[in-house]
Amino acid sequence: MIETKNRKSAWIAFLSVLCFLALVFGLDQLIKPTDKLGMLLIVLQKGSVYALAAVSMNLLNGYTGLFSLGHAGFMLLGAYTYAIFTIPDKNRDAVYQYFDAAIRFSIPEQLSKSMGGFGTALGILIALLLAGLVAAVLAWLIGLPVLRLKSDYLAIATLGFAEIIRAVFQWSKLGPVTNGSNLLKNFARASKFKLEIAGMKLSLSTFVPVLIATVSITLIVLLVNSTYGRAFKAIRDDEVAAEAMGINLARHKMIAFVTSSFFAGIAGATLAMVLSIAQANNFKSAMTYEILLMVVLGGIGSITGSVIGSLLFVAASEWWLRGLDSGKFLGIEAPTVFRNGFRLVVFSVIIMIVVLFFRKGIMGEKELPDLFRKKKKAPEKGEQS
Amino acid sequence: MSERKTMLQVENVTMQFGGVVAVNDLSMEVREGEIVAIIGPNGAGKTTAFNVITGVYAPTNGRVNFDGNCVVENYPHGKMKKNYLGEHAGLYSHVKEPTPDELTGLGMARTFQNIRLWKSMTVFDNVLVAKHLKRSSNLFSATFRSNRAEEARQRKETLELLEIVGLADVKDELATSLPYGKQRRLEIARALATQPKLLLLDEPAAGMNPQETQELTQFIGQIRKDFGVTILLIEHHMDLVMDISDRIYVLDFGRLIAQGTPAEVQKNEKVIDAYLGVVDDAEN
């Protein structure tokens, strides 16, 4: 009984994700970036990247109860790894203007020599995984000493680490690899992703980032609902009891930290892909706070909450509230009030309202399907009794 | 009784915090299939002894053998070498400080004096998580659901266990929404889910009314029979202790002052002075 019910809801979830991906693919063809609705594409691209970042942070902060603030650092690692390994040879000298580039091969380019277009796609996938792996390996190294700390101490330590990473990547001595404080560009970027079938050019510039985020978030959902996910929640609820019931704290905290960082790395790589640039200066601690805000807005401990939170956050800050900065909002023209920076004022007020009146976030600890299930549950109970 | 093999053996355990000796030279033995109680006034070191046995604290000196193997051992070294106030300082020379989860893996499981259930989880999940210990799946097989058979088996076992302890009808409720007595019962069920050989119950009847205590007494007897576990418990309800214990250890100020069967302990003058006296007066 339980089995069939679970399987049914799993199918519903799977099909709705497929429909969503098909919709995004369709929008990608119908809307051009220069259209009026072009903002929708940008929101989808950036929103999905931030959704992945928020969900991976939620895995650690919401599900395992480890309050870590190093997310921007791991995203930076991912972004740089991806960028460095996908800059084509011919662009390399232009990118590394002031340095002699040390890493001189691009994975997608090498693979496309033997396998054509498929090789390029495979190369990008490998670069993405590599980005995640680099972040994960560093997380493991940092986790060894840092995960012994608790709550705010862990937050400070990871925050410090993220800032150190940023400083190291801007260090001119590492210029041959990281291009110092200059930005990396001209690597494999989302705006260039296209699929050519029978002479038709299909744009993939929104579809690919959304797909990467969807697959990654699906994996995190599977992990959270597995026996390991339950162990994480036990650690969050009561560490002492978890340890007494045979859950190895050090190992499970490390698994959560490394997995979260792996997906943060992928989110960073996808962000570079979407923005077409990678620059250490973008990955400040302010970025971690933004992601934390999305997690809190959506509800700590809810995956769908994090996704909804990040999409709303990105849509509001990039699209809906834009008019507040440019003089015209909701048909009201008031250039003296709606000036640069006013958007941030309104935005802060909205966030304050949300935090005051929706203290548990939009979703609390519930997931989207829970909202539908609740209505059905009442008659079921009646049947049983 | 004496032919049964020794399940737990505590040898000369001393636990010293700074200058305070919480447990002083405690030696005790629990044989397979027994129910043994530790009693004593508040602050006698009962819970500290539990915490040493289950690996929460490393003892300052002494050794704990479990199921035939040495699992915990320590001797006063480092800073403690100078400050040690206990006895048998030269007797042990190895350090073995496992974490609580390792000991749970060996077959010890415990409950807590102040209930420590996982608050955000349902009754069912509280027990299911304890099955995590006996998993054979790794991170990847769990994420990609190739451990379906194991997962299904764990769920089936959890449901069976809940039926045995009488919590199956509330399995989908939040653990913390249960009445107090059932929360205690759930904690015991959760400990049993790790398939222990030795079950340690820290004041299982604390805060219970006489009727609930009686039910618990029966319940503990039933678990011993159904699960074949050995039980070591700390308790203040003397009815319960005298009713179900095979043997009793009495602690006072960290020291063992008496041991024996319930009848022997009740007659022991030291015990009456230190602990039972008040109860006797009330009865007379």
CB contact under 8 A, A246 and B125: no
Token pair of A275, please? 């923005």
Closest listed residue to residue A274, CA positions, set A199, A213, A334: A213
CB contacts < 8 A (A, B):
103
pLDDT computed for residue A383 by the predictor: 37
Alpha-carbon span B20 to B26, nearest angstrom: 15
Alpha-carbon span B225 to B51, nearest angstrom: 26
The runs of H, that is alpha helices, within A276-322 are 285-298, 303-315
First to last CA, chain A: 17
pLDDT surpassing 60 at residue A384: no
Name the average pLDDT for chain A. 86
Confidence of residue A3 (pLDDT cuts 50, 70, 90): low
Complex ipTM tops 0.95: no
CB contact under 8 A, A245 and B143: no
pLDDT computed for residue A5 by the predictor: 64
**pLDDT for B124-134, tens place per residue?**
999 999 999 98
Say if CB A283 and CB A184 are below 8 A apart: no
Partner-chain residue, chosen from B116, B125, B154, that has the shortest CB–CB distance to A241: B116
List, as ranges, residues 221-240 from B with C-beta within 8 Å of A. none
Residues ≥6 apart with Cβ < 8 Å to A43: A311, A314, A315, A318, A319
In a 10 Å sphere around its CB, with 0-12 CB exposed, 13-18 middle and 19+ buried, how is residue A284 labelled?
Answer: middle
Task: Please give the DSSP secondary-structure letter assigned to residue B97.
Answer: -
Residues ≥6 apart with Cβ < 8 Å to A17: A214, A218
Cβ contacts of B190 on chain A, cutoff 8 Å: 245
pLDDT surpassing 80 at residue A7: no
Say if CB A222 and CB B106 are below 8 A apart: no
pLDDT computed for residue B242 by the predictor: 92
Alpha-carbon span B17 to A218, nearest angstrom: 49
Type and span of the H or E element at B273: none
Q: What percent of chain B has pLDDT over 70?
A: 96
Say if CB B162 and CB B127 are below 8 A apart: yes
Cβ contacts of A365 on chain B, cutoff 8 Å: 120
Question: Is residue B135 less than 8 Å (CB to CB) from chain A?
Answer: yes
Look at chain A and count its residues.
Answer: 385
Question: Which residues make beta-bridge pairs with B23?
Answer: B15
Q: What percent of chain A has pLDDT over 70?
A: 93
Q: Note every long-range contact of A215-219, with CB atoms under 8 Å and residues 24 or more positions apart, other chains counting.
A: A216/A52, A216/A55, A216/A56, A216/A263, A216/A266, A216/A267, A217/A51, A217/A52, A217/A55, A217/A303, A217/A307, A218/A17, A219/A263, A219/B143
Three-state helix/strand/coil letters over B148-176: HHHHHHHHHHHHHHHHHHCCHHHCCCEHH
Question: Is residue B152 less than 8 Å (CB to CB) from chain A?
Answer: yes
pLDDT computed for residue A4 by the predictor: 59
**pLDDT for A150-198, tens place per residue?**
878 999 999 999 999 999 999 888 888 888 888 888 888 888 887 777 7
Confidence of residue B110 (pLDDT cuts 50, 70, 90): very high
Tell me if residue B252 falls in helix, strand or coil: strand
Alpha-carbon span A218 to A303, nearest angstrom: 10
At B85, phi and psi to the nearest 5?
Answer: -110, -5
In a 10 Å sphere around its CB, with 0-12 CB exposed, 13-18 middle and 19+ buried, how is residue A178 labelled?
Answer: buried
Alpha-carbon span B35 to B232, nearest angstrom: 6
In a 10 Å sphere around its CB, with 0-12 CB exposed, 13-18 middle and 19+ buried, how is residue A57 labelled?
Answer: buried
Partner-chain residue, chosen from B102, B117, B137, that has the shortest CB–CB distance to A227: B137
Most confident of A96-100, A326-330, B253-257: B253-257
Q: Provide mean pLDDT across the span A50-74.
A: 94
CA dihedral A93, A98, A104, A108 (to 10 degrees): -60
pLDDT surpassing 60 at residue A133: yes
**pLDDT for B133-150, tens place per residue?**
988 888 988 888 888 899
pLDDT surpassing 70 at residue B170: yes
Alpha-carbon span B163 to B165, nearest angstrom: 6
Q: How many CA atoms are closer than 13 Å to the CA of B257, on its beta-carbon side?
A: 23
Q: What percent of chain A has pLDDT over 90?
A: 46
Closest listed residue to residue A41, CA positions, set A188, A269, A266, A208: A208
Q: Provide mean pLDDT across the span A203-216.
A: 92
Any idea which residue has 């929460």 for tokens? B56
Task: Please give the DSSP secondary-structure letter assigned to residue B134.
Answer: G
Token pair of A270, please? 């996808």
Q: Note every long-range contact of A327-336, with CB atoms under 8 Å and residues 24 or more positions apart, other chains counting.
A: none
**pLDDT for B5-50, tens place per residue?**
999 999 999 999 988 999 999 999 999 999 999 999 988 999 999 9
Cβ contacts of B151 on chain A, cutoff 8 Å: 227
Say if CB B44 and CB B251 are below 8 A apart: yes
Closest listed residue to residue A369, CA positions, set A3, A5, A65: A5
Type and span of the H or E element at A225: none
pLDDT computed for residue B198 by the predictor: 96
Say if CB B201 and CB B111 are below 8 A apart: yes
CB contact under 8 A, B151 and A240: no
pLDDT surpassing 90 at residue A372: no
pLDDT computed for residue A20 by the predictor: 92
Question: Which residues make beta-bridge pairs with B96?
Answer: B73
Token pair of A207, please? 């579809």
User: How far is B91 from chain A, CA to nearest CA, in Å?
Assistant: 29
> Which chain A residue has the Cα nearest residue B138?
A228
Token pair of B202, please? 């820290």
Question: Which residues make beta-bridge pairs with B6?
Answer: B31
Say if CB B201 and CB B233 are below 8 A apart: yes
* All structural domains of chain A with their residue ranges: 2-284
Alpha-carbon span B53 to B50, nearest angstrom: 5
Query: Cα–Cα–Cα angle for A24, A30, A33, nearest 5°?
Result: 90
pLDDT computed for residue A364 by the predictor: 79
> Which chain B residue has the Cα nearest residue A224?
B143
pLDDT computed for residue A307 by the predictor: 93
Q: How many CA atoms are closer than 13 Å to the CA of A270, on its beta-carbon side?
A: 31
